[in-house]
Amino acid sequence: MPELSVINESHIEKLDDIQLLQHLLDSFSTITKMFVAVTDVDGCNLLSSERGETDFCRLIKSTDMGMYCCCGSYARAGREAEKWNEPYFFKCHAGLIAWACPVLLDGRHEGNFICGQVLMWQPDKYYIQEVIDNTKKLDIDSAALTKAAKKLEVISAEQMQAAADLLYVTANYFAQSGTSTLDYQQKLRKISSWLWNENYNEKHLNTPAATEEDILDLEKRFFKELRLSHQESSKELLKRMAIMFFIHSKGKIEIIKGMSIEFISLLTRFSTECGTKFEESIRYSFQRLNELEEADTVEKVILWLLTTGNSYIDLLTEKDADPQETIINRAITYIRENYASQDLSLSTIASNCHISPSYLSRIFKQKKGHTITEQVNRTRIEEAKYILQDCDSTVSETAQKVGFADRSYFYKVFKKQVGLSPSVYKGRF
């Protein structure tokens, strides 16, 4: 049976219709006459418009340190843009104006649209000197930088806002229509080809039509494999069941809908018996139920069946994963989401994980090799490193932003982890 995946590949670099994204970038660049690129969340360039970067940016990125600083600027701006879900204007490490719009795929922040880099005023000698000072650590020829800086585009605040608005619309179109809709249509085409190919093979081999007894036997095999947490074989049997529904119904959509709902109801009951909370089980069984009700083709019904069934299989087979790892991952996620809170403690983290502080402390140390407190400090210092690259934030302000109430303790922890004091580290950017 041919491979049939109904799980969305959400990473930007794996998108099937990369040509659409390239077209959007080039169209935007043609209208605005500005360079635009898509980066991952770490600020690394994935795709850019045919209109290349400015000579100034190419010079900056010609060095490893320059590229590192640019990626840091993009990543930091992307996080801010994602936080507010709107264009975020920023000044890069070299002093140019740019803006970022988040790329959200299936609700996850997968990257950023970055546009710029421009000026809002004609570069005078004071600005040129500022550029030279900001980029001194990159060891780039100052005469070449000066020449490139004088060629930078100068735009008004109105132009900049209009371009940012257009970029935001472009990013949203790409995330909603450019991926979701195209991905859905692509899945439907795969389903159609797969169904009719399998149906042809059944007829060509003179295979007897699927009876109700055959379907019941297949269901028993499916639930046996699922009870044993055999994920792959369960998914293969689910696909086989979809084919049997199609053949047995002779392609009649209402019959396939009824059979699909009946099967998913059995799956809901089975998952509840396995210990899944009733509310969680219902959520899986009725995901996009309106999509099933409105389905006007056999392909759409089969896609709903496979998507819902696979969600259940993933849910039930993951229950045999190491429960301690699940707790630890939940604790790490909570720390990442709440590192800025000065009230973040072992007790609050343990409470969120619904276990005792002593148990969390013990298993965390056993599994990770360091304590919860060290994990909190590591998370805070990593965020502090990004903030310190922003010239507008002082060391004291940074300590407050990442959850350190004591400035001297922040200095001590930062130097221990990074090898430099916060002020020395900040001076490098």
CA neighbours within 13 Å on the CB side: how many for 426?
19
Reading the block at residue 217, the tokens are 């036997």
Is residue 90, in this structure, part of any structural domain at all? yes
Is there a contact between 135 and 60 (Cβ–Cβ < 8 Å)? yes
What is the pTM for the complete model shown? 0.41
Last residue of a domain, one of 320, 342, 361: 320
* Residue 55 forms part of a structural domain: yes
Residue 196 lies in a domain: no
Last-in-domain residue among 295, 320, 345: 320
Give residue 307's domain range.
208-320
Query: Is residue 117 classed as helix, strand or coil in its secondary structure?
Result: strand
On whether both 42 and 156 belong to a single domain, the answer is yes
Residue 286 and residue 329 in one domain: no
CATH number of 396's domain: 1.10.10.60
Supply the Cα-derived Rg of the chain in whole angstroms: 27
Q: Are residues 227 and 372 in the same domain?
A: no
Number of domains in the chain: 3
Do 301 and 336 reside in the same domain of the chain? no
Q: Which long-range contacts (CB under 8 A, 24 or more apart) does 283-291 make?
A: 284/308, 284/311, 284/312, 284/315, 285/312, 287/311
Is 122 found in the same domain as 61?
Answer: yes
d(CA 20, CA 103): 14
Per-residue confidence (pLDDT) for residue 95, from 0 to 100: 85
How is the beta sheet containing 108-118 ordered, strand by strand? 45-48, 35-39, 108-118, 97-105, 88-91
Of the residues 320, 345, 375, which one is the last residue of a structural domain? 320
Same domain, 294 and 332: no
135 and 280 housed in the same domain:
no
Structure tokens at 46: 């994935």
Model pLDDT, residue 317: 78
Peptide bond connecting 117 to the previous residue in cis, omega within 30 degrees of 0: yes
Q: Within this chain, do residues 364 and 305 fall inside the same structural domain, yes or no?
A: no
Give the residues of the chain that fall short of pLDDT 50.
1-16, 178-179, 181-182, 320
Alpha helices by DSSP H, 179-297:
182-204, 212-227, 231-249, 253-273, 278-285, 289-294
Residue 4 lies in a domain: no
Position 7 in a domain:
no
Instruction: Examine the domain organization and report whether 335 and 398 are in the same domain.
Output: yes
Distance of CA 368 to the CA centre of its chain: 25
For residue 171, being part of any structural domain is answered with yes
Residues 25 and 152 in one domain: yes
Q: Is residue 285 part of a domain?
A: yes
Residues 46 and 126 in one domain: yes
- Within this chain, do residues 313 and 336 fall inside the same structural domain, yes or no? no
Q: Could you tell me if residue 202 is inside a domain?
A: no
At residue 8, the pLDDT reads: 36
